[in-house]
Structure formats: C-alpha cells, structure tokens
Amino acid sequence: MKQTIEWSDFEKLDIRTGTIIEANDFPKARKPAYRLRIDFGEELGIRQSSAQITRHYKPEDLVGRQIMAVVNFPKKQIADFMSECLVLGIYDTNKDVILIQPERSVPNGSIIG
C-alpha cells in the first residue's frame, strides 16, 4: 500500500474527461506507445499525450473513445514529442494498461471528483 495522503493532496489533481480525436503509432518511444490528441472541451481545448496502450488497443479503435486524464501535470518530453496530460489506466495481470473510461458519455472537460 502506498503512503496515505491528505484530501488536499487529492484536490490538487485536475482529472478531466476527454475524447480521443487522433491516435498514431509512436515509433520513437522507448516502449510501444501511441501519440494521442484528446479533446477536453472548450475550456482546455485539445491536448496531446503519449500512452503505452498498444497491447489492448489499435489506433483506429481509440478515435471517438472517451477517457480520463490528469491535465495539470507539467508537460513532459518523450522522444521528439511533448506530452501535455497523463491518460489514466489500470494495469492488468501482465502490466499492460486498460483505459479508465466514464460509464456514460459526458461532456468533454468534465471534472472528476
């Protein structure tokens, strides 16, 4: 189990829903990954992310899918790509990522709490 955090620590995270509008292979990444463009609605706009989700997903199956992501981390350079958010997922028994998705369609940019 990880370290206990305070409620105020959780409140620092800005977790939003977004819709993947583009997904492409990312051959320059050290581990297999996709480059994603995600629409987070009018307030945040479109952000990009690198996601190691190649085991369970194909790029064409990702477009149009709603996901959840942390949008207030600093940008992170991955190879020649700047990741602007952290897409959230769960590790399966093989340590491959399964995306966390809302149960129902919600507006892009909806805040998780």
CATH number at residue 51: 2.40.50.140
pLDDT of residue 1: 83
Q: How many domains does the chain have?
A: 1
Distances in whole angstroms, Cα of residue 45 to Cα of each of 6, 31, 59, 98, 112: 30, 27, 21, 24, 17
Torsion angle of alpha carbons 46, 50, 54, 59, nearest 10°?
Answer: 30
Considering only the C-alpha atoms of the chain, give the largest distance between any 2 of them, rounded to a whole number of Å: 40
- Identify the domain containing residue 73 by its residue range: 7-99
Residue 75 falls within a domain, yes or no? yes
Question: Is 65 strand, coil or helix?
Answer: coil
Q: What is the pTM of this model?
A: 0.93
Residue 78 falls within a domain, yes or no? yes
Amino acid identity, residue 14? D
Residue 34 falls within a domain, yes or no? yes
Average pLDDT of adjacent 10-residue blocks, the chain of 113 residues: 90 97 95 96 97 96 98 94 97 96 96 87
